Amino acid sequence: MSEKRTKARKRVLKSGFIVISDKAPKVECTVRNLSDTGAALHVSTTIGIPKNFDVIIDGARQHCRAAWRTDTKIGIVFE
What's the pLDDT band for 5 if we cut at 50, 70, 90? low
Q: Are strands 60-69 and 27-34 parallel, antiparallel or unpaired?
A: unpaired
Task: Answer whether residue 44 is part of any domain.
Answer: yes
Identify whether 39 is part of a domain: yes
What CATH number corresponds to the domain at position 63? Answer: 2.40.10.220
> Of 1, 25, 4, 2, whose CA–CA distance to 67 is shortest?
4
Task: Identify the domain containing residue 31 by its residue range.
Answer: 10-78
Q: Is residue 1 one of the residues assigned to a domain?
A: no
Query: CA torsion angle for 36, 42, 45, 50 (degrees, to 10)?
Result: 0
Structural domain total, the chain: 1
The residue among 55, 50, 45 whose CA lies nearest residue 18 is 55
State pTM to two decimals: 0.87
Angle (nearest 5°) at CA 8 between 11 and 47: 60
pLDDT for res 9:
79
pLDDT tens digits along 26-47 = 999 999 999 999 999 999 999 9
Looking at residue 6, its pLDDT comes to 62
